[in-house]
């Protein structure tokens, strides 16, 4: 009898097979997680996590047609849970969340070479095996189906029956998902967070709640009057991919300054103004959402993908309604992060994507900034009498920081983290090409407003390795100090007010940039950006499941979990009201949409 025939003949006589496979894969993947990615599930969490995984294994076993396909399918599923989570933790500081499913298409679009092939093979194998392996021909299959259906219905309609016991007896820290993962285990964490996804899903708020929240936000703001008339000028808004000052790595000595001297001089004239952004090392679209729409992103999801379903009077639409041409430029696949739909909904009239550019300066698949800037300048209608909102999203600067033959390595350092040298050389070119662009732009448009910012800090090795090497971040997000939380979302911000020069904005949350631009244009009509003007005594940076306050005296107050301080209670009231109004505007009935003349 062949090996395959043996398994076919004895499949129903192998009741211990799920026990064997769960034990073997749990041990194997645990070893990989610890020694490859330095992510270790706590020993106290293993018994319950292992037991729940074993239950899932028996449900899968009961629904399976063949032993060998069950084993492969079980290996793939456990691999995603017990290796996929450590990979994401090592790169971004947190595990896989339910909303990551909706970002999967974008992940496949950005990967190339062996990375794309590996992920595509895993996903294709998983889907194929599910359909190939499952059957309902035997009584065991029906039992497995009953248990699978019961779990699904509970998660959809009574998720509190899963979430509440775990939160009560194991505990959860919403601001620190890595800690939840290691204290719950991969299977338990995935089960609980999947249930929580349905329990706390954002929905359109009640009309009365939305109006009450809007009134509360207006009451918290100081009344400011402007007597200057709206003055249309061209606005150039530039997102600099992964742009940051590598000189902040205190223990790294670079052979050359990564930032161009004229960039540093310009930045210094603005008192080294800083954008306080919503993300770290990825999810660029969330920084885009904030700088275009003036509302903070507070969930671990890409806002463009699912939480922007309405046409909204964001900055592009406001300016378009006031006579502007609104143009977005990004030399990437147009559907990446759902930009085609998102840009349309926020008010862009034109979107120049990959097909609209000559890809003549590729660094692997990333078009160099100098080429992008040159081509945008050639296409921009700056002299036809109509003001322009020119929004540019640069592409060069993505990890793993490839350079082409026109950009030879210029910088070396004493860092032991490979990404640090690669990144330093990338910013060497990005800062110089940006300054060349600024000079060319000011010659053609001396009165234009120029705003440039880094969308997030760069990825510098697993578990914050490049940052931990210099002591500016801990290698575990749960060990961040208040100053580290502030540091890990702070990027350079340049605002040039035409001939008046650089604006000293200080540390400005990115969602407040649209309001700043409107103020520079003396635009005084009510806008949705008015809702997110924080109280006068502080600036508030909401993040995923927590926020921090920055006070005028330089103090930082990180508000992570109750019991909250009085200061945190005050800012939390503002955060909750902003969340309600945001849901009303972007996915709701828009009863809080300002009425203009």
Report yes or no on 596 lying in a domain: no
Report yes or no on 154 lying in a domain: yes
Show the low-confidence residues of the chain (pLDDT under 70). Answer: 1-14, 103-116, 118-145, 222-227, 596-597
- Whether residues 150 and 256 share a domain: the answer is no
Cβ-contact 252, 246 below 8 angstroms: yes
Long-range contact list for 203-212, CB < 8 A, 24+ apart? 203/583, 203/587, 204/583, 204/584, 204/587, 204/588, 204/589, 205/580, 205/583, 205/584, 205/588, 207/589, 207/591, 209/580, 210/580, 210/581, 210/583, 210/584, 210/588, 210/589, 210/591, 210/592, 211/591, 211/592
pLDDT score of 7:
47
User: Which CATH number do you get for residue 256?
Assistant: 3.40.720.10
Cβ-contact 428, 367 below 8 angstroms: no
- Whether residues 256 and 116 share a domain: the answer is no
- Whether residues 188 and 133 share a domain: the answer is yes
Task: Give CA–CA dist 217/316, Å, rounded.
Answer: 23
pLDDT score of 145:
65
CB neighbour list of residue 149: distance below 8 Å, 6 or more residues apart: none
| Helix ranges restricted to H, 226-328 | 261-269, 284-293, 303-306, 315-320
Cβ neighbours around 450 below 10 Å, total: 21
- Whether residues 173 and 270 share a domain: the answer is no
3-state secondary structure of 276: strand
| Alpha carbon distances (Å) from 393 to 2, 159, 243, 309, 455 | 59, 40, 12, 22, 10
- Whether residues 32 and 109 share a domain: the answer is yes
Strands (E) in 205-262, as ranges, are 235-240
Q: What element of type H or E holds 491? A: strand 490-497
- Whether residues 493 and 357 share a domain: the answer is yes
- Whether residues 435 and 316 share a domain: the answer is yes
- Whether residues 192 and 317 share a domain: the answer is no
- Whether residues 235 and 112 share a domain: the answer is no
**CA nearest to 295, candidates 320, 317, 278:** 278
pLDDT score of 367:
96
CB neighbour list of residue 10: distance below 8 Å, 6 or more residues apart: 67
Report yes or no on 597 lying in a domain: no
Q: What element of type H or E holds 535? A: none
pLDDT score of 273:
96
- Whether residues 54 and 151 share a domain: the answer is yes
- Whether residues 193 and 212 share a domain: the answer is no
pLDDT score of 152:
80
Query: How many domains does the structure of the chain reveal?
Result: 2
pLDDT score of 162:
87
Q: Which domain, by its residues, includes 361? A: 207-217+231-586
pLDDT score of 383:
79
pLDDT score of 126:
64
pLDDT score of 125:
64
Report yes or no on 256 lying in a domain: yes
DSSP for 432-445, please give it.
HHHHHHHHHHHHH-
pTM of this prediction exceeds 0.85: yes
- Whether residues 477 and 535 share a domain: the answer is yes
Report yes or no on 224 lying in a domain: no
Report yes or no on 594 lying in a domain: no
Report yes or no on 263 lying in a domain: yes
């Amino acid at each position: 009898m062949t090996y395959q025939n043996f398994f076919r003949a004895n499949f129903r006589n192998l009741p211990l097979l799920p026990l064997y496979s769960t034990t073997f894969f749990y041990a194997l993947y645990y070893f990989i997680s610890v020694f490859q990615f330095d992510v270790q599930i706590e020993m106290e969490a293993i018994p319950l996590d292992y037991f729940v995984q074993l239950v899932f294994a028996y449900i899968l076993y009961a629904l399976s047609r063949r032993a060998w396909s069950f084993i492969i399918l079980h290996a793939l599923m456990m691999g995603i849970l017990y290796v996929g989570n450590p990979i994401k933790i090592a790169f971004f500081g947190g595990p896989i969340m339910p909303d990551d499913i909706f970002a999967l298409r974008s992940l496949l679009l950005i990967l190339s070479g062996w990375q794309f092939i590996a992920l595509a093979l895993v996903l294709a194998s998983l889907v194929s095996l599910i359909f190939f392996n499952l059957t309902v021909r035997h009584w065991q299959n029906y039992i497995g189906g009953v248990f699978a259906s019961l779990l699904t219905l509970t998660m959809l309609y009574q998720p509190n029956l899963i979430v509440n016991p775990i939160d009560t007896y194991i505990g959860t820290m919403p601001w620190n998902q890595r800690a939840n993962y290691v204290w719950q285990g991969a299977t338990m964490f995935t089960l609980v967070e999947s249930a929580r996804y349905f329990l706390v899903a954002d929905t359109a708020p009640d009309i009365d709640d939305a109006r009450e929240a809007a009134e509360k936000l207006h009451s918290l703001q100081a009344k400011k009057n402007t007597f200057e008339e709206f003055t249309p000028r061209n606005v150039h808004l530039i997102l600099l991919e992964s742009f940051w000052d590598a000189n902040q790595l205190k223990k790294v000595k670079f052979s050359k300054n990564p930032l161009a001297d004229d960039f540093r001089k310009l930045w210094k004239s603005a008192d080294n103004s800083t954008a306080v952004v919503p993300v770290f090392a990825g999810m660029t679209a969330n920084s885009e959402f904030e700088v275009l729409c003036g509302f903070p992103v507070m969930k671990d999801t890409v806002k463009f993908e699912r939480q922007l379903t309405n046409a909204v009077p964001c900055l592009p639409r406001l300016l378009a309604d006031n006579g502007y041409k609104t143009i977005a430029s990004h030399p990437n696949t147009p559907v990446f992060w759902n930009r085609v739909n998102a840009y349309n909904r926020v008010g862009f009239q034109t979107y120049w994507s990959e097909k609209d550019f000559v890809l003549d300066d590729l660094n692997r698949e990333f078009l160099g900034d100098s080429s992008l800037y040159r081509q945008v300048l050639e296409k921009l209608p700056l002299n036809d009498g109509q003001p322009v909102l020119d929004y540019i999203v640069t592409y060069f600067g993505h990890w793993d920081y490839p350079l082409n033959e026109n950009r030879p390595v210029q910088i070396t350092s004493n860092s032991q983290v490979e990404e640090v040298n690669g990144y330093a050389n990338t910013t060497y070119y990005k800062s110089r090409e940006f300054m060349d662009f600024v000079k060319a732009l000011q010659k053609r448009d001396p009165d234009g407003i120029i705003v440039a910012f880094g969308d997030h800090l760069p990825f510098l090795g697993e578990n914050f390795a490049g940052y931990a090497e210099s002591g500016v971040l801990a290698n575990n997000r749960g060990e961040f100090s208040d100053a580290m939380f502030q540091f890990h979302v702070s990027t350079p911000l340049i605002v040039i007010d035409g001939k008046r020069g650089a604006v000293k904005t200080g540390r400005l949350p990115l969602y407040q940039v649209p309001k700043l631009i409107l103020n520079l244009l003396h635009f005084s009509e009510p806008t949705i950006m008015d809702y997110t003007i924080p109280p006068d005594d502080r600036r508030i940076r909401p993040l995923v499941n927590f926020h921090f306050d920055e006070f005028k005296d330089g103090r930082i107050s990180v508000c992570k979990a109750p019991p909250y301080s009085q200061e945190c209670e005050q800012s939390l009231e503002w955060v909750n009201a902003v969340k309600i109004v945001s849901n009303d505007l972007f996915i709701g009935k828009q009863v809080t949409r300002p009425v203009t003349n």
